Amino acid sequence: MDASDKPGTTHFGFRDVPLADKQKLVGEVFSSVAGKYDLMNDLMSLGIHRVWKRYFVGTAQVKKGDRVLDLAGGTGDIAALLKDRVGETGELVLGDINGTMLRVGRDRMTDRGNVRGFEYVQCNAEKLPFPDASFDLVTIAFGLRNVTDKDAALREMLRVLKVGGQARVLEFSEVKAEWFKPIYDFHSFNILPKLGSLFAGDPGSYQYLAESIRKHPPQDELKAMMDAAGFARARYRNLSGGIVAIHDGWKA
């Protein structure tokens, strides 16, 4: 669970809020930015998120006919990339707690002609509405940091995996190069909210998103959380100097 100095509270960006309030506050952010989600990621990553996502999917353990759950699947970027990997006989389930994001994703996928083999489920990652051992692969890209109880979400990801199945987390992480940290911080806290105001009319949501990255567990801490959740062979790989990291774990 997100750490906080005060009992019964958790982090919403740099603010401490009651545990019960975080889900609602995060929901308001993503309802606000749903229509501008690609723009949001372009502003946050300078467009490189598209390369990260392709690498994330391209190196996943998945084959034709597999059943895949993409959590925080939102606008469908990861699921669209996975379609070729699972083929016509595979199944892709997009799960997202935010109904607005899910509708944007469904409409976008339909517009692209991606209809067959896709299912959309509004669900909370902390308590998934799927039976044990339901999926060959579970992914979550740029969503785990917004989950209130990350430990519960990791345990649920493990529960719904089949034996031998893989879980993959793509998330902003801790920059490793000391010289780059002040540049990254300046972009995050000075440039990003201004761009959010200019292009999306919503500087507050972009400020939260920048803060949420800093509150997300860094690489080794998240790996330890995956170990504690019961994953086998948990590991991570930094991309772009640790701006993001891919964490993997398997169900033994």
| pLDDT (mean) for 176-184 | 93
DSSP-derived secondary structure for the chain: ----SSTTEEEETTEEEEHHHHHHHHHHHHHHHGGGHHHHHHHHHTTTHHHHHHHHHHTSS--TT-EEEEET-TTSHHHHHHHHHH-TT-EEEEEES-HHHHHHHHHHHHHTT--TTEEEEE-BTTB-SS-TT-EEEEEEES-GGG-S-HHHHHHHHHHHEEEEEEEEEEEE-----TTTHHHHHHIIIIIHHHHHHHHHS-HHHHHHHHHHHHHS--HHHHHHHHHHHT-EEEEEEEEGGGTEEEEEEE--
With bands split at pLDDT 50, 70 and 90, how would you rate the model's confidence at 12? low
In this model, does residue 34 exceed pLDDT 70?
A: no
Q: Answer yes or no: is pLDDT of 4 > 60.
A: no
Does 73 have pLDDT greater than 70? yes
Whole-number pLDDT of residue 89: 96
Per-residue pLDDT tens digits for 85-108: 999 999 999 999 988 889 888 988
Digit-coded pLDDT (tens) for 36-64: 777 777 877 878 999 999 999 999 999 99
Could you give the domains of the chain?
9-177+207-250 (3.40.50.150)
Instruction: Read off the pLDDT of residues 109-143 as tens digits, 9 standing for 90 and up.
Output: 888 888 889 999 999 999 999 999 999 999 999 99
pTM of this prediction? Answer: 0.87
